[in-house]
Amino acid sequence: MLRVAVPNKGALSESASAMLNEAGYRQRRDTRELVMVDPDNDVEFFFLRPRDIAVYVGAGTLDVGITGRDLFLDAEVDAEELMNLGFGASTFRFAGPVGDFSSIDQLEGKRLATSYDGLLRSYLSERGINASVVRLDGAVESSVRLGVADAIADVVETGTTLRAAGMEIFGEPILKSEAVLIGRKGASPAGVDVLIRRLRGVLVARQYVMMDYDVRKDLVDEAAALTPGLESPTVSPLQNSDWVAVRSMIKKSDTNRIMDELYDIGARAILVSSIHACRI
Ligand SMILES: Nc1ncnc2c1ncn2[C@@H]1O[C@H](COP(=O)(O)OP(=O)(O)OP(=O)(O)O)[C@@H](O)[C@H]1O
Ligand SMILES: O=P(O)(O)OC[C@H]1O[C@H](OP(=O)(O)OP(=O)(O)O)[C@H](O)[C@@H]1O
Ligand SMILES: [Mg+2]
């Protein structure tokens, strides 16, 4: 049975369970459940803190897990990213009181507060910056005002928390993070291929739509160039032999642009429908 770690709380928890559910796996009903077996799919889910998930996967006691790239790298374990999951995007950045810092060169000899000390220490040492790292559990933005640090390195999503604390970002992002599926390096436990294929299917179903339209036969190549699909569009005959019907998958974010361009070429009856599930 494949043993899968899923965040039990926090920013990644709901989206992770929703994605697994869309991929056809049973998910817990009660947030206090810590283990759940899905016998139909031969998978056992363990609901754990996202920070700890890398530790279990690295130790090999669980086969794969969902966590943030930042948390995974911070844990410095023997595991690898198997796929990006398309949610939980954030950046990990330096920030300081408004006006105090403009570049990371100014960090030399300073005190830096963070919850991600592994990640921060390796970033600093790669760049030869000598700064002292103060490891805190959370609410890192308060550390400068409370006098234990000069600047911070923390997760920034919207920047609201920083602004509220009178701080601003500086320097390039230390890391761009998102939720990832991680697994033991080089291991390929039974069932993991199916899990990955299903999760890919969810990503595609979320990112693509199905587009149908009718177009005059002599314009089909021009129209098909706008909707090449994943392999090639389906072109079917219509009763009126001067026209054909075309069906193709397109990126959801391109929908309106492509509809406008197809209409301009002369395509009509342009219909867009969502994809419920797929295997690519
Ligand atoms: N707005 C956000 N706030 C915090 N984490 C976010 C946000 N958006 C995405 N994430 C990601 O979620 C993960 C952190 O999750 P979570 O906040 O549950 O962990 P934690 O900070 O260790 O736990 P907690 O905040 O419950 O003490 C990281 O991978 C982070 O990049
Ligand atoms: O840029 P924003 O959209 O404001 O989000 C970023 C904030 O969210 C996280 O805190 P979290 O809620 O996880 O609390 P914590 O600091 O105690 O972990 C993170 O540590 C930042 O403080
Ligand atoms: Mg947090």
- In this predicted model, what pLDDT tens digit does every residue of 262-278 receive, in sequence order? 999 999 999 999 999 99
CATH classification for the domain delimited by 90-177, as one of 3.40.50.10800, 3.40.190.10, 1.20.120.1630, 1.10.150.120: 3.40.190.10
The pTM score is 0.91
Q: What is the largest CA-CA distance in the chain?
A: 78
Task: Read off the pLDDT of residues 34-60 as tens digits, 9 standing for 90 and up.
Answer: 999 999 999 999 999 999 999 999 999
CA of 156 to the centre of ligand 1 (A): 10
What tokens were used for 14? Answer: 């709901």
Residue 233 has pLDDT above 90, yes or no: yes
Is residue 186 very low, low, confident or very high in pLDDT (cuts 50, 70, 90)?
confident
**Fold agreement between 2-86+178-190 and 90-177:** yes
Distance CA 277, CA 280 (A): 10
pLDDT attached to residue 178: 98
Give the atom of ligand 1 at the shortest distance from the alpha carbon of 67. 29
Residue nearest to atom 30 of ligand 1 (CA): 68
Q: What is the mean pLDDT of the chain?
A: 96
Amino acid at 222: E
Q: Average pLDDT of 179-197?
A: 94
Q: Are strands 132-135 and 111-114 parallel, antiparallel or unpaired?
A: parallel
Distance CA 177, CA 155 (A): 9
Domain 2-86+178-190: top CATH class: alpha beta
Q: Are strands 64-68 and 2-7 parallel, antiparallel or unpaired?
A: parallel
Phi, psi of 260 (to 5 degrees): -65, -45
Distance CA 10, CA 14 (A): 8
Q: What is the CATH number of domain 208-274?
A: 3.30.70.120
Residue 130 has pLDDT above 90, yes or no: yes
For the question of an ipTM over 0.95, the answer is no
Q: Average pLDDT of 125-146?
A: 97
What tokens were used for 68? Answer: 């943030």
For a ligand 1 pocket test, name from 6, 12, 92 the mutation site with the most ligand atoms within 8 angstroms of its C-beta. 12
Q: Average pLDDT of 184-207?
A: 94
Residue 187 has pLDDT above 90, yes or no: no
Task: Read off the pLDDT of residues 67-94 as tens digits, 9 standing for 90 and up.
Answer: 999 999 999 999 999 999 999 999 999 9
Q: Average pLDDT of 185-214?
A: 95
154 lines ligand 2 (CB under 6 A): yes
The closest ligand to the CA of 138 turns out to be 2
Residue nearest to atom 3 of ligand 1 (CA): 11
Domain extent listing, the chain = 2-86+178-190, 90-177, 208-274
Distance CA 90, CA 243 (A): 48
Residue with tokens 């500086």: 170
